[in-house]
Chain A
Amino acid sequence: MAAGIRDKVAILGMGCSKFGERWDAGPEDLMVEAYLEAMQDAGIEPTQLDAAWFSTHIDEVGTGKGGTPMSLALRLPNIAVTRVENFCAGGSEAFRGAVYAVASGAADIAIALGVEKLKDTGYGGLPTGQAGTLLPQVSPNGSAPGNFAQLASAYRAKHGVSRDDLKRAIAHVSVKSHANGAKNPKAHLQKPVTEEQVLNAPMIAEPLGLFDCCGVSDGAAAAIVTTPEIARSLGKRNLTTVKALQLAVSNGMESQYNGWDGSYFHTARIAASKAYREAGIERPREQISMMEVHDCFSVTELVTMEDLHISAEGQGWKDVMNGFYDADGQIPCQIDGGLKCFGHPIGASGLRMLYEMYLQLQGRAGERQLSNPVFGMTHNLGGSPSTNVCSVAIVGQEGA
């Protein structure tokens, strides 16, 4: 078995643009915003960057294909820029590429940046589109909420949870994230909501109402990584290091084989188990300090709590209702507001999650600061419940 990534790479600096309906900014502006913050945080010059990884998903309405949009926007010194795309998990992929480059010794300092400009489509929600020429001839004309809502019907059937109980549990997921987002000046949505508001919102895709769906936002986030030794030589102390980076990808078992019941993420379970092993974590429910998970929809977050082996199977909805994942709970989840309120500029989201974990571990999270976090976990999902890529990353204090 491979030795893994644990403590081989440190985060030198991070940046994140204000997320939201950025009518004022194009994708280039968003990239520059995140990049300048990260560079200032790292305390390095552009010429010190050896390589870059660039994540963006919907190139038709966003930045365009290839590595050039990032290099042009940031005037990078003709270094390698690799564009990555893995549905909504591209941000984590950019980070993985940069971290692996540093760990391999091919680069001393590498940057990962993700961006998405979604609010140039003319309508709410994500742009629609299907891949290739075969899928449009057979796949339902669905939407992201419609795909993820499928989890709810399967979860109810499997665990005997009533419609009302599940609806209230997923409502609590959103109420919690709104309360957290209200304390985040960079968040897209900064207004608390009540459970009653969530329950009575217009239906988008049964049983998901408006407040069960994350914001569709413009934004960018960036991370600069290096080795712990170089970080120290640049004067950094109390390093945040990478403990685990895992990615599991569907192979058709869920969508084409009868072994999957539709109520959970097969890939998330695999990626989480591998990540804990890589990070040396044996009791995640006790050891993980905080999490940013891919709460594209409230029900996604709920079942993910079980898939990450934090809540027991079938019990996630009870932990949610009991406040286990609230800001003052045992494992605060989406302390920055999550996709739900911080927003979901697709290509940037994985890096935005790491940004919050990094701020918390560095003690720089302001009003949201948690006391003495040790391990922060991010879960970044791309695709649909039956066909997806799932990234799980763990970062923490060096040596922990």
Chain B
Amino acid sequence: MVGIAAWGAYVPRLRLSRKAAASANAWIAPGLMGKAKGERSMANWDEDALTMAVEAARDVLGPDDDRSHVRGLWFASSTAPFSDRLNAGIISAALTLDRAAASADVSGSQRCGLTALAQGLNAVKAGAVSCGLVTVGEHRRARAASTQELDFGDGAAAFMLAEKDLVAEFLGHGSCTADFVDHFRGADAEFDYHWEERWIRDEGIVKLVPPAVEAALKKAGLGSDQVTHFCFPSTFGGMAATLAKRLGIPASAVRDNLAGVMGEAGAAHGPVLLAHALDEARPGDIILVAQFGQGAEALIFRVTDRIDQARPARGVVGSLADRKEETNYLKFLFFNGLVEWDRGMRAEKDNKTALTTLYRNEDQILGLVGGKCRETGVVQYPRTRISVAPNAFAVDTQDPYRFAERKASVTTYSADFLTYSMSPPNHYGTIDFEGGGRIFMDITDVEQGDVDTGLPVKMVFRLKETDEKRGFRRYYWKAAPDRAARTQPAALAAE
């Protein structure tokens, strides 16, 4: 039997108030006020489909930074940052996966997240990969004042696939392919182009999803009445309930599609809903997840007794709980590149990346790997031939040492209003790690007043800079408040 051994998720902390967004655009699109309810997740300026996928994968993998068991990696997204550079390769480096592990990008439609999941499960089932990691992230863009802007959300989910220690057994997969163009985005286009909603619903979803679901049920040897969780993302109200009724799935099994609290995260949303179902599942539950996109993909799982032992640190439930409302719609526009704003002369610097340097220092930059001296035990970043331990002069004594999963805290910081930043003031400082080592780095997901000496932080994988001239994105690690670990720093008690 193959299936899911662990799962994880990531939803960016910022949540755009739909009321704020709809109100700002009501002068030109008064109809949007009908959608002015709840909130949608909103990637920070330094997050994209890839960074969110890394965070979801880290939620799956947990604090143990030995990732040698992962033998295959699938990254799925319809908004991957690179068209021709293996996005999964960046993720593999960030997660410090074994270079011998296979990796692939899966793209092309809104159902590609589930396609990647099916491919991963089939690879494990075929014995080609002993342990596979599927991670799906999506950061969809939409035009200002469009309904999509309010409907969409950003997020990611990830799954560890294996043959043993399963939390959910894979029972069956069904697929349906038809060139039904509900919307499309050309290779060079910035935004989607949509056809009429009623046609998509009645001629598309209602006719193309059931064959995939029925095929999956048949393979699983289950009746539709046995499904206890039905996950189906759609921005159309009541769509999952309509399908359930047509398929004979109990109405009680239809799961909330999280439209009110995060919006629809495109290709990642089926996986997000599956992760959310796992968050809340009980042993024996039957989970059916399906997603539409030039046909449909459907997968069925049975939850095992291990479900309670394998819950991720965050999951979807934890991600949704860690939220900050954003009522400044303009900030959303800036972060998504939807306005041309005055960045000042300091933003004029050339962000050309030396690719030779990037590759030579791949584990340092993308993996946040430093060194530990075999002689002195001193931990340092970066790894260097001569140890930094004062007056020790140990040469070539350092073993690779991973920092990304270590707990850390702020030793020095400033909030800089002078330097160019997408979200001023730019916070950065000296971060010290438990177990030794320190890195002078950016601090993200904070506002003025959030940071002080002693603040517990965790490492997050983020966009460092975009080279707009050449279309390159630089990724690196940043410190973000470890809000779960936050305690009153002793140094502040004196004030």
Contact B491 A156 (CB under 8 A): yes
- Chain A count of residues within 8 A CB distance of the other chain: 50
- B234-260 contact mask (Cβ, 8 Å, vs A): 1 or 0: 000000000000000000000000000
- The answer to whether A258 and B432 touch (CB under 8 A), given A123-B345, A141-B421, A153-B452, is yes
Are A146 and B419 in contact, CB atoms less than 8 angstroms apart? yes
- Residue B365 CB within 8 A of the other chain: yes
B358 at the interface (CB under 8 A from A): yes
Whether, in the assembled complex, A111 has its beta carbon less than 8 Å from a beta carbon of chain B, the answer is no
Question: Does B388 sit within 8 A of A, measured CB to CB?
Answer: yes
Q: Which 6 A-B pairs have the closest CB atoms?
A: A146-B416, A133-B354, A140-B428, A149-B414, A150-B412, A262-B412
Chain B residue numbers with a CB within 8 Å of A132 are: 357
- B357 near A134: Cβ-Cβ < 8 Å: yes
* Interface contacts beyond A133-B353, A157-B491: sample of 9 additional A-B pairs, CB < 8 Å, sorted by A: A133-B354, A136-B353, A137-B365, A140-B442, A141-B419, A141-B442, A146-B428, A150-B430, A262-B430
A151 vs chain B, min Cβ distance (A) = 7
Closest B residue to A204 using CB positions = B418
A252 to B356, CA, bound (A): 24
Residues of chain A contacted by B425 (CB below 8 angstroms)? 203, 205-206
B373-403 interface bits toward A, Cβ cutoff 8 Å, 1 = contact, 0 = none:
0000010111010001110000000000000
Give the nearest-CB partner of A202 in chain B.
B417
CB distance from B428 to the nearest CB of A (A): 4
Q: List 26 A-B contacts (CB under 8 A).
A: A125-B418, A128-B419, A128-B420, A132-B357, A137-B353, A138-B365, A138-B441, A138-B476, A141-B419, A141-B420, A143-B418, A143-B419, A146-B416, A146-B418, A146-B428, A153-B412, A154-B453, A203-B425, A206-B414, A251-B388, A255-B440, A256-B437, A257-B378, A257-B380, A258-B438, A262-B411
User: Quick check: is A139 within 8 A (CB to CB) of the other chain?
Assistant: yes
Chain B residue contacts of A263, Cβ below 8 A:
412
| Known contacts A141-B442, A143-B416, A154-B412; A256 and B344 CB within 8 A of each other | no
Chain B residue with the shortest CB-CB distance to A252? B388
User: Does A195 sit within 8 A of B, measured CB to CB?
Assistant: no
Contacts of A202 in B (CB 8 A): 417
- B470: CB under 8 A from chain A? no
Inter-subunit contact A206/B418 (CB<8 Å): no
Take A128-B419, A256-B381, A259-B390 as given contacts and tell me if A140 and B441 are in contact as well, using a CB distance cutoff of 8 Å. Answer: yes
**A142 contacts chain B at the CB level, 8 A cutoff:** yes
| Chain B residues within an 8 Å CB radius of A142 | 414, 416, 419, 426, 428
Report how far A204 CA is from B181 CA in the complex, Å. 52
Q: Is A261 an interface residue (CB 8 A)?
A: yes
Query: Restricting to A230-263, which residues have a CB under 8 Å from any CB of B?
Result: 251-253, 255-259, 261-263
B349 within 8 A of A: yes
Q: Distance (Å) between the CB of B218 and the closest chain A CB? A: 52
Q: Please tell me if the beta carbons of A204 and B417 are within 8 angstroms of each other in the complex.
A: yes
Q: Does B85 contact A (CB under 8 A)?
A: no
Alpha-carbon distance A234/B380, docked complex (angstroms): 56
Chain B residues with Cβ below 8 Å from A128 are 346, 349, 419-420
Q: Does A122 contact B (CB under 8 A)?
A: yes
A366 contacts the other chain (CB 8 A): no
Inter-chain CA distance A193–B353, complex, in Å, is: 44
Q: Least Cβ distance of B413 to chain A in Å? A: 5
A386–B440 touching, CB < 8 Å: yes
Please give me the residue from chain B that is nearest to A122 by CB atom: B345
Interface string of A135-170 (1 = CB under 8 A from B): 011111111011101111110110010110000000
Mark contacts of A202-220 with chain B using CB atoms, 8 A cut-off: 1 yes-contact digit, 0 otherwise.
Answer: 1111101000000000000
For chain A, residues 255 to 282, give those with C-beta under 8 angstroms from any C-beta of chain B.
255-259, 261-263
Q: Is B346 a contact partner of A138 (Cβ separation < 8 A)?
A: no
Q: Does A129 contact B (CB under 8 A)?
A: yes
Roughly how many angstroms separate A325 CA and B388 CA in the complex, as a whole number?
A: 37
Q: Determine the chain B residues whose CB is within 8 A of the CB of A121 once the complex forms.
A: 345
- With most chain B CB atoms within 10 A of its CB, the pick from A157, A256, A257 is A256
Compute how far the CA of A147 lies from the CA of B452 in the bound complex, rounded to whole angstroms. Answer: 15
Contacts of A261 in B (CB 8 A): 411
Residue pair B416, A137 in contact (C-beta under 8 Å): no
**Quick one: closest A residue to B429, CB to CB?**
A150
Closest beta carbon of chain B to A118's beta carbon, Å: 14
A145 / chain B contacts, CB cutoff of 8 Å: 414, 416, 418
User: Are A160 and B494 in contact, with the CB atoms below 8 A?
Assistant: yes
Within the complex, which residue of B382, B384, B436 is in contact with A258, where a contact is CB–CB below 8 Å? Answer: B436
B224 touches A (CB below 8 Å)? no
B313 within 8 Å of A (CB atoms): no
Known: A137-B353, A150-B412, A205-B415. A253 touches B426 (CB 8 A): no
Contacts of B452 in A (CB 8 A): 153
Of residues 73 to 131 in A, which have CB atoms within 8 Å of B's CB atoms?
121-123, 125, 128-129
* Total B residues in contact with A, Cβ cutoff 8 Å: 57
Q: Which residues of B contact A (CB under 8 A)?
A: 344-346, 349, 351, 353-354, 356-358, 361, 364-365, 378, 380-382, 384, 388-390, 410-421, 425-426, 428-430, 432, 436-438, 440-442, 448, 452-454, 464-465, 474, 476, 489, 491, 494-495
Q: Is the CB of B494 within 8 A of A205?
A: no
B389 / chain A contacts, CB cutoff of 8 Å: 257
Judge whether A258 and B437 touch: CB under 8 Å: yes
User: Measured between alpha carbons, how far is A160 from B495 in the docked complex, in Å?
Assistant: 8
In the complex, A261 Cα to B453 Cα: how many Å? 11
Give the residue of A129, A134, A203 whose beta carbon is less than 8 angstroms from that of B417: A203
Pair B416/A205 contact, Cβ less than 8 Å:
yes
Contact among B357, B388, B411 for A137, CB-based, below 8 A: B357
B403 CB to closest chain A CB (Å) equals 12
Contact of A137 with B414 in the complex, beta carbons under 8 Å? no
- Report yes or no: B351 in contact with A253, Cβ–Cβ below 8 A: no
Docked-complex contact B495 and A257, CB < 8 angstroms: no
B430 contact set on A, CB distance < 8 A: 150, 154, 255, 262, 386
Residue pair B464, A137 in contact (C-beta under 8 Å): yes
Task: Point out the residues of chain B lying under 8 angstroms from A251, CB to CB.
Answer: 388
A253-B390, A259-B390 are contacts. A205–B429 as well, Cβ < 8 Å? no
Are B344 and A139 closer than 8 Å at their CB atoms? no
Measured between alpha carbons, how far is A99 from B16 in the docked complex, in Å? 64
Partner of B357, one of A133, A139, A143, A255: A133
Bound complex: CA A253 to CA B378 (Å): 12
Contact of A153 among B416, B419, B436, B453 (CB under 8 A): B453
Chain B residues with CB under 8 A of A141: 419-421, 426, 428, 442, 465
B419 contact set on A, CB distance < 8 A? 128, 141-143, 146, 205
Contact at B345–A136, with CB atoms within 8 Å? no
- Contact yes or no, A205 B440, CB < 8 A: no
CB distance from B2 to the nearest CB of A (A): 39
Task: Name the residue on A nearest B344 (C-beta).
Answer: A123
Are A140 and B354 in contact, with the CB atoms below 8 A?
no
Q: Report the minimal beta-carbon distance from A152 to chain B, rounded to whole angstroms.
A: 8
With contact pairs A133-B357, A138-B365 given, residues A153 and B465 touching in the complex (Cβ less than 8 Å):
no
Residues A162 and B494 in contact, CB atoms below 8 Å apart = yes
Residues of A contacting B364 with CB < 8 Å?
138
Is the Cβ of A256 less than 8 Å from the Cβ of B495?
A: no
Q: Are the CB atoms of A150 and B349 closer together than 8 Å?
A: no
Q: Complex: how many Å from CA A358 to CA B344? A: 42
Q: A122-B345, A141-B426, A256-B381 are in contact. Are A157 and B414 (CB under 8 A)?
A: no
Alpha-carbon separation in the docked complex, A137 to B354 (Å): 9
Q: Is the CB of A205 within 8 A of B414?
A: yes
Interface-central residue, A123, A156, A163, A257, by most chain B CB under 10 Å: A257
Residues of B within 8 A of A146 (CB): 414, 416, 418-419, 426, 428
Chain A residue nearest to B361 (CB atoms) is A134
Q: How far is the CB of B230 from chain A (nearest CB, A)?
A: 45
Q: Measured between C-beta atoms, what is the minimum distance from A270 to chain B in Å?
A: 12
Task: Give the CA-CA distance A88 to B413 in the complex, in Å.
Answer: 22
Whole-angstrom distance from the CB of B491 to the nearest CB of chain A? 4
- Once the chains bind, are B413 and A150 in contact (CB under 8 Å)? yes
Could you tell me if B495 and A162 are in contact, using CB atoms closer than 8 angstroms? yes
Residues on A with beta carbons closer than 8 Å to the beta carbon of B346: 123, 128
| Cα A139 to Cα B429 with chains together (Å) | 10
